Structure 1
Amino acid sequence: MLKSTEYEIESVREYFEWQAPDLEVTFMQKVYSEMVINTRHDVWDIHTNKDRWWVITGGTNLYSQEQFPNMDLALTFHIGLMLRIPRTVEQQENDIRVLPFGPVLEKIEEAGTAVTQAHKLSDYQAVGVRCREALLELISVAQDAAVWKADASPQRANFRAWTEIICNDLLPSDTNKERRGALKGALESAWTFSNWLTHSKSATWLDAEMAASLMQHAIGMATSLIVRELRGVPEECPKCGSPRLEPQHGENTAAHGVLWERPYCTDCGWAGRAIPIIDMEDGQSIITREGGESDEHSIMTVPLRSILKPGDPPIKPLKDTEIGPPEPDVYFAYGSNMSTVRLRERMPSCKPLGIANLSGFALRFHKRSVDGSGKCNAFASGDEDNVIGVLFSIDPTERAALYKAEGVGNGYEHKIVTVVNDKGRRRKVLTYVATPDYIDDSLQPYGWYKDFVSAGAREHGLPEEYIARNILSVETTEDPDKIRDKKQRAVLGNFGQ
């Protein structure tokens, strides 16, 4: 399982719910990630109440695991599909972002094509020439794109001299010694090998392929650093320290027709200084296409449940079977378990994720407990009521303790509900509700229990109006078990109540 941010999880979940509204997500995790031609493809394993799916990003789409039981097969199919899909506006914007290096990318493409068409010695030597041209184009574009610190300006085509200047300027000081050495080494190696290949009398196709690979690697390293320098992109977010910085585009009302860009942190929302990157009236995309526009799409607008071949019978509906997928790993607490200290008695590794709202339910203290008092229940009222609670990430291995404490099978049952978190995103999460035979509206909670509920609500910043109306206004009864009462209030005391 790979690490993933809350933003990634919510985005993938929302996409799946949009594509398959008839299915209920019960478990999801990111299992694999691969970068292909500067596009990242994350593979997510999605369990539902009926079947399992792959969701693959980078042109997000979903694939049935019944049809694609092998993850590698699904990813291979997905990448091939994405290469056939017409470029979107977002992809065209990605081209704009590296416009200064458009000629360099064209040279790289020419070298790659030359490798695939090479069959004899002169072809292999021609690949060396193409690689040299790409490297020279790199330093030429770099000279025009920025002002570099140099005591004297060498000849424009002096590759080694300009490599030294650019590397020293991009990665100054002793702290960057190893980084600077790696970049210089990559560029020098690519340049030396390309020159050798150009004149070699014993070159092979493997040499041509190696030259192209060395050249692409070196240019990729240099281009990435130069672009970040030109855009003023820090190594990490200065606000939260996250390395997840993405370019954000926009226009300035005071300068129409100019595209601006600034670094944006996808984790905390920090945005850096915006700079103009292209005059959209004069700029051209690196890749252009000819021919009429079409609204046709290569991706189906409904979930891909099966792929038909000529002669195959019609697609049959999915089997209505349960395969027993794992339960969700996000829990919605709305009663005493909102108190982190209380929940951690049962699930030590739980972590609060923020508050959330459950619409169509009302908070009631009418669930009959084994101690004879009333406990909280999210009662499906079907009207405009709502229950506000707290989302917790939980370890699936600790669910048994929570099941036991909540009395699952003896008054409570687990349920998947759709809540809206404090960021306005819908989440399908785990919670517990009372079964009808354990509901008694005449019951009252013990005082210490209500205090746990109010303490948890205030701990996580639930609205005071909600707390006053739904919790503090509830009448309580005294716990006849003085030892239990004292023990629970001691826990509350440790919590600061």
Structure 2
Amino acid sequence: MWWIFPLPFVSSCPVVKTFGKQFNLLRCDMNKEKPQAIDPSTSACVIPPALPKGDLHKLMFRYSEQEAQEIGDYVEWQAHGEETVLHAEKVASERVMGHDHDVWDIHTDKGRWWVITNPTNLYSQELMPSLDYTLSFHIGLMARVAARRELDGSDAEREFVLVTSRKLLQAGEALDAADEAEEFQAVGMRCRECLITFIRELADGFDFGAGDDPPKAADFPAWNDLIANTVAPEASMEYVRGYLKTTGERAWRLVNWLTHAANATSADAHLAWDATAHVVANYTRAVLKMKAKAPDQCGRCKSFRVRVDWRPDLGDEGMYVARCEECGAQEHPASDQIADDN
């Protein structure tokens, strides 16, 4: 194998100049069994040594250092620090069903990997030497992963209504497997149970001021009105309060109807599940914001990018903390002042 470099390139390339001095180059002599080491300055036929992998990026065109750094960090994270990335090179990019997938050839100090994006995953080149096969495998695997039902919302929201989240996910999985009317009816029953469990979890996690005469545990319409009035009490929030009440009441009627609908269809079951998930998401977000005493606007940088995080490391049983995504400031429910997140 011959490497042919134009003369200006050889004279100006720091890598070739450096390693041309450090290694003896070999004469291409077909009449002798062993190559002879000679002075490269007098030879007309030389084979340069392999370039170090850590310097290959200096000779690449269309090289994005930021992209390569992100991919390299991903590989080292997946290797748990046991491998160091020496070279990262994007070797292919293919669009499949509207999604772009970039393929990277990664050299580490222990082996080589394919890294394919959107979503990102890595594959050993020792086990999968073919790029085209690996790309096809990746797309098929990610399609199956994407088909799995997952709930929307943050980790804090799912933690706040943990039992409800589990029941809602199970209802969704039952919906995906349903084919007949009685199975669609069962989805309605699961959604109904999910809504009842939901108001119980909210009542356990937050004081809605029901006093000594709270609504019955399974009286969802009464709890729906009480919760909506609590999270949107001001006169200026009339439309928000009305929307929350209406969506909750309609979702409750829909799931009860579906439970007894002998001619229920797949579309009916999907509508019931979506309505249930929508009610759960709306109330969870609003109640969690009140529980964490999260402000609408950061008191430090005035950004509106304030979210609630679940911090199991705080307190005896964990704590919900308001945090600004812009400046990192956070507010504990027990404190009225914003503190820097160190």
Q: TM-score range by the shorter chain?
A: 0.5 to 0.7
Counting only pairs closer than 5 Å after superposition, residues 193-212 of structure 1 correspond to structure 2 as 193-212=254-273
5+ long unaligned stretches in structure 2: 1-53, 76-87, 102-116, 122-140, 146-153, 336-342
Report the alpha carbon displacement of residue 231 of structure 1 after superposing the two structures with TM: 1.5
User: Is 1:67 aligned to 2:67, yes or no?
Assistant: no
Which of 286, 298, 323 pairs up with 1:264? Answer: 323
1:134/1:50 Cα in 2 relative to 1: closer, same or farther (>3 Å)? closer
Contact 1:55 1:63 in 2 (8 A): no
Q: Residues 4-43 of structure 1, C-alpha deviation per residue, up to 9 Å, x if partnerless? A: xxxxxxxxxxxxxxxx99659xxxxxxxxxxxxxxxxxxx
Which of 160, 165, 171 pairs up with 1:105? Answer: 165
Report the alpha carbon displacement of residue 56 of structure 1 after superposing the two structures with TM: 9.2
- Corresponding residue for residue 303 of structure 2: 242
- Corresponding residue for residue 132 of structure 1: 192
Contact 1:163 1:187 in 2 (8 A): yes
User: Is 1:145 aligned to 2:184, yes or no?
Assistant: no
5+ long unaligned stretches in structure 1: 1-19, 25-46, 85-93, 277-497
SS at match of 1:193: helix
1:161/1:50 Cα in 2 relative to 1: closer, same or farther (>3 Å)? closer
2:207, 2:172 → 1: CA distance? 30
- Corresponding residue for residue 170 of structure 1: 231
2:142, 2:242 → 1: CA distance? 39
Which amino acid letter does the alignment assign opposite residue 72 of structure 1? H
Q: Residues 32-81 of structure 1, C-alpha deviation per residue, up to 9 Å, x if partnerless? A: xxxxxxxxxxxxxxx95369969999x97899483235672437544965
Which amino acid letter does the alignment assign opposite residue 67 of structure 1? S
Considering fraction of residues, name the structure with more strand.
1
1:113/1:23 Cα in 2 relative to 1: closer, same or farther (>3 Å)? same
- Corresponding residue for residue 41 of structure 2: none
- Corresponding residue for residue 292 of structure 2: 231
SS at match of 2:311: strand
Counting only pairs closer than 5 Å after superposition, residues 41-440 of structure 1 correspond to structure 2 as 49=63, 64=90, 66-69=92-95, 72-74=99-101, 77-78=119-120, 95=155, 98-150=158-210, 152-246=213-307, 247=309, 249=311, 251=313, 257-274=316-333
Paired residues in the alignment total 223
SS at match of 1:233: coil
SS at match of 2:323: strand
Report the alpha carbon displacement of residue 129 of structure 1 after superposing the two structures with TM: 0.2
Contact 1:248 1:263 in 2 (8 A): no
1:125/1:177 Cα in 2 relative to 1: closer, same or farther (>3 Å)? same
1:48/1:171 Cα in 2 relative to 1: closer, same or farther (>3 Å)? farther
Contact 2:184 2:258 in 1 (8 A): yes
Which amino acid letter does the alignment assign opposite residue 324 of structure 2? C
2:257, 2:69 → 1: CA distance? 46
1:98/1:114 Cα in 2 relative to 1: closer, same or farther (>3 Å)? closer
1:130, 1:271 → 2: CA distance? 38
2:177, 2:162 → 1: CA distance? 23
Report the alpha carbon displacement of residue 212 of structure 1 after superposing the two structures with TM: 0.8
Report the alpha carbon displacement of residue 267 of structure 1 after superposing the two structures with TM: 1.9
Which amino acid letter does the alignment assign opposite residue 214 of structure 1? A
Report the alpha carbon displacement of residue 206 of structure 1 after superposing the two structures with TM: 1.2
2:245, 2:68 → 1: CA distance? 41
When normalised by structure 2's length, the TM-score is 0.55
- Corresponding residue for residue 399 of structure 1: none
Q: Residues 190-228 of structure 1, C-alpha deviation per residue, up to 9 Å, x if partnerless? A: 111111111112211111111111111111111111112
1:22/1:244 Cα in 2 relative to 1: closer, same or farther (>3 Å)? farther
When normalised by structure 1's length, the TM-score is 0.39
Q: Residues 244-296 of structure 1, C-alpha deviation per residue, up to 9 Å, x if partnerless? A: 234273746xx6x54344222232232212559xxxxxxxxxxxxxxxxxxxx
Contact 2:178 2:184 in 1 (8 A): yes
Q: What RMSD over aligned residues (CA atoms) do the two structures have, in Å?
A: 3.9
Contact 1:261 1:275 in 2 (8 A): no
Percent identical: 24
More contact order relative to length (CA 8 Å, sep ≥ 6): 1
1:22, 1:182 → 2: CA distance? 59
SS at match of 1:130: helix
Which amino acid letter does the alignment assign opposite residue 163 of structure 1? N
SS at match of 1:67: strand
Contact 1:262 1:275 in 2 (8 A): no
Contact 1:125 1:198 in 2 (8 A): yes
